[in-house]
Amino acid sequence: VEVDPFDIIVFGATGDLSQRKLIPALYHRDQAGQIPADARVIGTSRRPLSNEDFVADARKSVLAHVDPGDIEEEALARFLSRLSYVAVDAAAERGWSDLVAHVGLDPERIRLFYLATSPDFFGPICTNLGKCGLAAGNGRVVIEKPIGKDLDSARRVNAAIGAVFPEDRVYRIDHYLGKETVQNLMALRFANALFEPLWNSAHIDHVQITVAETLGVESRAGYYDTAGALRDMVQNHMLQLLCQVAMEPPRSLAADAVRDEKLKVLTSLKPIDESNADHLTVRGQYRAGASAGGAVGGYLEDLGSSTSNTETFVAIKAEIGNWRWAGVPFYLRTGKRLAARVSEIVVAFKDIPHSMFDETAGRISPNRLVIRLQPDEGVRLWLMIKDPGPGGMRLQYIPLDMSFAKAFNVRNPDAYERLIMDVVRGNQSLFMRRDEVEAAWTWIDPILETWKAHKEAPKGYTSGTWGPTAAVALIERDGRTWHEDD
């Protein structure tokens, strides 16, 4: 479905996010016929650059990041004809009047300002957008994490943006919310009668959320070393996933109905602080090892430094202090250079109350619902069934398997495609509200403070493994194990 005419103005247009994600996503939407004829994509950055060079770079990034089967010369030419470039010094005076002249101040026109820059520029860019009149009317701003590095700094960033753009025109992206399976979780929970009656502490033993990567910090070591896994992944993506699993049914899909429920989850998380952080959290840092069949160096080598206390792995046992979830642990773990690239949510149900089967039946494992985000998006429900044949009552643990790739023969759009179009449509459901971001920091801050005060070095783990052994101990001392889905 075509959307209303719009201009998207990308700050940091020559940077990595823009070239790797935004330009290819816009090409895909254009190819699908969703972008109106007169929509424009306007790149800006500090660097002087001709339109031709900007277009040539964009062409390269489409060719590099779009599946060759999806490249159509005609569609690509049409997309590239929408592109133009204006050099703007985001934090200073230079270039803003050129930008105004180029974009125009039509009060009706949707102007989408995508700040694909370092977060240090979020405030100054918004201030300048306000001053030059571009923010007014139908201007919308899109920002990415990190929004601050703790509660105080997040409040400052939000205040600087909020001084120019009202909250209903601020879109804080968490690209995990744009992933197909994350949205499917809403469908699974609330479009089926089957799960919701069981979705509570009476029937669920625990929940696991794993976001494991095989990559190291690559070229981002500079940023990463100031952040670490807790800020980079848990404060945003992992807590958003936890909210999707744990929230009460919202009354509708309206943005604030959903966000109100997520906020309640975040504010119900039991504090992890000095009194319990050593017991409930594990930090790790990768050492040399192997990844994807090849030998790889450790984090310190990637960083080019001999010391760093930054964690590249974190595991946490979290708990939500409300009626539905009391006593149900949520085990979270995420890390770089782990054994496999896999992101999944595992809802582990309780044991059956009584077994009528004898030992020949074999072990009865409790049901598990596994929601796989990547790779191989899909849902698996692990059940006990009878082994077919006349061999008596032997039981097997087998998944009822729904792989989305097999079920639907369609390309799985990248999260950014959906999210950018949602901004144009004015739909904020998949974006984080200011109070959500701040509530997440409120929970994260005492963990960071405790780690800092205790000055304990992260535990080393060999690249290509599942992280430090302490993370295994974290769950095993409760008599549970990390899920292996095969």
Q: Is 336 annotated as a binding residue?
A: yes
By beta-carbon proximity to ligand BG6, the closer residue of 232 and 319 is: 232
Q: State the number of CA atoms in the 13 A half-sphere of 362 facing the CB.
A: 13
Q: Is 484 annotated as a binding residue?
A: no
Q: Is 179 annotated as a binding residue?
A: yes
Q: How many CB atoms lie within 10 A of CB 462?
A: 16
Q: In whole angstroms, how close is the CB of 143 to ligand BG6 at the nearest point?
A: 13
Q: DSSP labels for 80-144?
A: HHTEEEEE--TTSSTTHHHHHHHH---SSSEEEEEE-S-GGGHHHHHHHHHHTTTTTTTEEEEEE
CB 263, CB 345: distance < 8 Å:
no
206 is catalytic: no
In the complex, which residues of this chain contact ligand BG6 (CB under 6 A)? 175, 213, 232, 343
By beta-carbon proximity to ligand BG6, the closer residue of 132 and 300 is: 300
Q: DSSP labels for 272-299?
A: -STTTHHHHEEEEEEESEEETTEEE--H
Beta bridge partners of 112: 8, 140
Q: Is 232 annotated as a binding residue?
A: yes
Q: In whole angstroms, how close is the CB of 212 to ligand BG6 at the nearest point?
A: 10
Maximum separation of any 2 CA atoms in the chain, in Å: 82
Q: Is 455 annotated as a binding residue?
A: no
By beta-carbon proximity to ligand BG6, the closer residue of 190 and 223 is: 223
Catalytic pick from 102, 203, 206, 237? 237
What is the spatial distance between Cα 215 and Cα 296, in angstroms, rounded to a whole number? 10
Q: In whole angstroms, how close is the CB of 374 to ligand BG6 at the nearest point?
A: 6
Burial class (CB in 10 A: 0-12, 13-18, 19+), 295: exposed
Comparing C-alpha atoms, which of 315, 200, 324 is closest to residue 268? 324
By beta-carbon proximity to ligand BG6, the closer residue of 414 and 438 is: 414
Q: Is 46 annotated as a binding residue?
A: yes
By beta-carbon proximity to ligand BG6, the closer residue of 181 and 343 is: 343
Q: In whole angstroms, how close is the CB of 20 to ligand BG6 at the nearest point?
A: 11
CB 199, CB 189: distance < 8 Å:
yes
Beta bridge partners of 321: none
Residue number of the CB closest to ligand BG6 reads: 232
Question: Residue 251 to residues 234, 244, 255, 260, 261: CA-CA distances in angstroms?
Answer: 27, 14, 11, 10, 9
Q: In whole angstroms, how close is the CB of 467 to ligand BG6 at the nearest point?
A: 16
By beta-carbon proximity to ligand BG6, the closer residue of 276 and 374 is: 374
Q: In whole angstroms, how close is the CB of 334 to ligand BG6 at the nearest point?
A: 9
Q: Is 368 annotated as a binding residue?
A: no
Comparing C-alpha atoms, which of 206, 217, 213, 282 is closest to residue 245? 206
Question: Residue 336 to residues 296, 319, 392: CA-CA distances in angstroms?
Answer: 12, 24, 46
Active-site residue list: 237
For the annotated binding site, the residues are 46, 145, 175, 179, 213, 232, 336
For the annotated binding site for NADP(+), the residues are 46, 145
